[in-house]
């Protein structure tokens, strides 16, 4: 089956980009990414990069993008480290927090003055996260904190993703940690701070300063990127360079399908703009502008 492809016929005011599977896979920039970003800069459009992955700080993400040839300003990159820390400090200042998480999130929480503790009696908020150092002791601590019903410990998560795609397959992500805690405690995770949730998407729009209806969300995952566009009422483009393939899109109800389906990222620009720039099919594949 050939891939369905329908490009936007307009240039949007704001662009909300996913990273993994959309701009790059592993350490490889995907074809057309760099020249698309350069073109959007020339056109004066606002852009933001959004990742659900809490295992890097935004500085680390910007450094990676710089290494791959894309310069991104500080306000143009947001991930669940930012939204999680912002939520905890705004909603539960002074709370005891236990995070099943890796160092980038733990460090950011510490830097923000959050009181981290592994004493179940002191824990007010349990944060489930993408944690490749997860062990039984951490599960036990979270379980005991959540199990003490009288304590009303909050159960939140950085992001809902079941797994994180990697060039060789994938790694269990925060969704699997959420599931483990839900299974043993009988509790339900109350809130997460990633796409497509309201916390993340509110933070994205606040930074982008463009009304949602003038934005295009571009990503490779139906359950997060497409759902994020629906959550805020923005247009959606699914790019077939990551998780989603044509068959996956075909299984969606007509009303749920994205407005646009792209074979590569630079197809975000309309055909008229390709013509104006002298871009041709098949060129720009070296991913440099």
Residues that bind Mg ion (CB under 5 A): 18, 20-21, 220-221
CB of 221 to Mg ion, least distance (A): 5
Is the peptide bond between 144 and the residue preceding it cis, with omega within 30 degrees of 0?
A: no
- At 77, is the secondary structure helix, strand, or coil? strand
**How far is the first Cα of the chain from the last one, in angstroms, to the nearest whole number?**
31
CA distance 267 to 168: 26
| Residue with Cβ nearer Mg ion (138 or 257) | 257
CA distance 232 to 238: 16
| Residue with Cβ nearer Mg ion (126 or 217) | 217
Token couple for 106: 């733990």
CA distance 98 to 115: 9
CA distance 92 to 63: 31
CB of 196 to Mg ion, least distance (A): 12
CB of 137 to Mg ion, least distance (A): 31
- CB-closest chain residue to Mg ion: 21
Token couple for 92: 């539960």
For strand 163-166 and strand 169-172, is the pairing parallel, antiparallel, or unpaired? antiparallel
| Residue with Cβ nearer Mg ion (51 or 84) | 51
| Residue with Cβ nearer Mg ion (145 or 164) | 164
| Residue with Cβ nearer Mg ion (21 or 175) | 21
Edge-to-edge strand list for the sheet holding 125-128: 115-116, 96-100, 125-128, 154-157, 191-192
CB of 162 to Mg ion, least distance (A): 13
- At 20, is the secondary structure helix, strand, or coil? strand
CB of 42 to Mg ion, least distance (A): 25
Contact 51, 95 (CB under 8 A): no
| Residue with Cβ nearer Mg ion (21 or 104) | 21
CB of 187 to Mg ion, least distance (A): 28
CB of 271 to Mg ion, least distance (A): 25
Q: How far from 56 is each of 63, 77, 135, 173, 274, CA to CA, in Å? A: 10, 12, 20, 13, 34
Q: Residue length, the chain?
A: 289
| Residue with Cβ nearer Mg ion (138 or 221) | 221
């Amino acid at each position: 089956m050939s891939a369905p492809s329908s490009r936007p016929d307009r240039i949007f005011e704001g662009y909300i980009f996913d990273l993994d599977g959309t701009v790059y896979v592993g350490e490889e920039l995907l074809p057309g990414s760099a020249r698309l970003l350069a073109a959007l800069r020339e056109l004066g459009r606002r852009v933001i990069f959004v990742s659900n992955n809490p295992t890097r700080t935004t500085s680390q993400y910007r450094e990676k993008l710089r290494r791959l040839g894309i310069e991104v300003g500080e306000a143009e990159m947001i991930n669940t480290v930012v939204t999680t820390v912002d939520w905890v400090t705004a909603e539960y200042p002074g709370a005891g927090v236990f995070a099943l998480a890796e160092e980038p999130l733990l460090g950011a929480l510490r830097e923000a003055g959050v009181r981290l503790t592994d004493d179940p009696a002191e824990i007010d908020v349990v944060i489930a996260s993408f944690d490749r150092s997860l062990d039984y002791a951490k599960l036990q601590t979270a379980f005991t904190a959540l199990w003490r019903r009288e304590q009303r410990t909050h159960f939140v998560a950085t992001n809902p993703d079941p797994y994180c795609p990697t060039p060789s397959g994938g790694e269990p992500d925060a969704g699997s940690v959420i599931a483990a805690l839900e299974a043993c405690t009988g509790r339900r995770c109350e809130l997460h701070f990633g796409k497509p949730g309201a916390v993340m998407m509110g933070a994205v729009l606040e930074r982008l300063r463009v009304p949602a209806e003038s934005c295009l969300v571009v990503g490779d995952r139906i359950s997060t990127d497409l759902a994020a566009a629906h959550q805020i009422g923005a247009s959606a483009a699914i790019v077939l360079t990551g998780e989603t393939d044509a068959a996956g899109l075909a299984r969606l109800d007509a009303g749920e399908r994205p407005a646009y389906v792209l074979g590569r990222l630079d197809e975000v620009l309309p055909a008229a703009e390709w013509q104006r720039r002298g871009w041709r099919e098949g060129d720009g594949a070296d991913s440099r502008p």
